[in-house]
Amino acid sequence: MPSSRFIVPEGNQTMPPPPGPSTTSQKLSHALPLPFHLMAAGMSTVGSVVTAVAAHVLDGPVKESWNLATSVVVAGMRSVMVSHPPQGRHSMSIIRGVTSRLTIPFAVVGARGEYVDVSVKNPHHLTEAVRKVAGMAPVKYDRDVPSVRNIPAEWVVHKSIDASQIGNSPIVLYLHGGAHIFLSPRTHRIITSEISRVCRARVLALDYRLIPEHPFPSAVEDALAAYCALINQQSHGFSSTLSVPTTTTPNRIIIMGDSSGGCLTLQLMQTLKTLDIPLPAGAVLLSPLVDHSVTSPSWAQNFHSDFMALDPAGLSWALDCYAGEVGRTHPLVSPLFGDLTGLPPLLIQAGEAEVLADDAKKLHSKALSCGLWCELQIYKDMFHVFHTFPTQPETTATAFNEIGTFVSRTLSPQNCHIVFPRSLRITCMSGKVTEERLPTGEICIASHRKLGGSPDLERRDSGIITM
């Protein structure tokens, strides 16, 4: 078999060598020259989709609420994942090549956009500040260090927001997902435009650095620089500004992220807390990856109902690449093992049928044990980051509206959260939305009162609410 095309970048000397593909079909497919591999992968995807359509029609959908379009999308995405494990000879060149060029036009999602840069002065001081938070050794610089580094980003504003209102609108700092390896703000405009609409906010989507070239904590550095630029914070020897000057106060900022971007959201807030930089008003996490040890039962239980059919050996290799010199269970690499005390209110949304469902539930329990205001919403039958796909419009609309409600309450000047944090299983079927309360464990009443809660809301029984 030809050798891997991966080259260990100069910036990632801790990157382990990739394992070989796990299955015989993967070995054969990635041993072929690229054109023949593409043909084989394409035929496999077509076969998977045809099989999914036949199974949906003859035996019914994999999940009760799935329509035919959902079955087709999940089957197609699963096939692509199976055909391109992270360690495959052609995987990185194909996936990076496609996703780096994939751009959803602003007009398609009904938004206005503007490309900007986050300019960081003295970026080596930024690096040292974050490494110190992570307990990592200082970097030894053996050559001249650039005094300025630019991080690409884009502003996204939904067209329903009048231009005269933009200056007074809140800001969402959005950190996209993609397993730390691929995707960009351009691929996430369906999400960022809807977030702008339901939150009546400007969205700054950051194009942070990815692995394998840039392991932890590179992405955390970029996110920290973007946040500090928004609040005009200059400390710890570095400063950052936006190429189009825009500043606001922390209590007008919400940080959001999906999948690995949800992980980065928590990493950023933990870093802000340690560096004594003012925290944002709140955060929203969509299908967050918060445990890089990959030990949650839902990885196996939901393997066949989610498109995240990642090769176990390839997934482990990719996560080892991301963790770099500190390891996957480091409390800042895997926020589930970190100290969440003192963080702002959180909203967690995940699909019941996705491999990261248990990560969301564990994070919710951890947040409550740390005294946070945290609401968990599990959407019945839904897969990983279902917000991106238009196949279940009723469910995605409900999820986005819940995000808008959370942001509205969080940014309200009257009070933070008088509503008791909920733990819900949300079902959207046949034009009806129902909420079933899930067990939440103990709530930190003192923290709840501090956020504006009232004693009569301290305990609630489980029940069904029909909306």
Q: Are 255 and 269 in contact (CB under 8 A)?
A: yes
Residue given tokens 């002065």 in the structure block: 121
106: its two tokens:
């602003």
Residue given tokens 């469910």 in the structure block: 395
The residue annotated as part of the active site, out of 354, 387, 423, 447, is 354
Report how far residue 103's alpha carbon sits from residue 112's, in angstroms, rounded to the nearest whole number.
Answer: 14
Backbone angles phi, psi at 92, to 5 degrees: -65, -40
128: its two tokens:
């040292």
Tell me the CB-side half-sphere exposure of residue 321, using CA atoms within 13 A. Answer: 25
Report how far residue 61's alpha carbon sits from residue 50's, in angstroms, rounded to the nearest whole number.
Answer: 13
Q: Is 384 a catalytic residue?
A: yes
Letter string b/e over residues 413-434, b meaning 16 or more CB atoms within 10 A of that residue's CB: eeebbebbbebbbbbbeeeebe
Element (H, E) at 319: helix 312-323
Q: Is 316 a catalytic residue?
A: no
Backbone angles phi, psi at 400, to 5 degrees: -65, -40
| Nearest residue to 267 via CA among 119, 408, 131 | 131
Report how far residue 391's alpha carbon sits from residue 65's, in angstroms, rounded to the nearest whole number.
Answer: 11
Q: Is 354 a catalytic residue?
A: yes
- Beta partners for 428? 433
The residue annotated as part of the active site, out of 91, 193, 259, 334, is 259
The residue annotated as part of the active site, out of 384, 387, 417, 448, is 384
The set of catalytic residues is 259, 354, 384
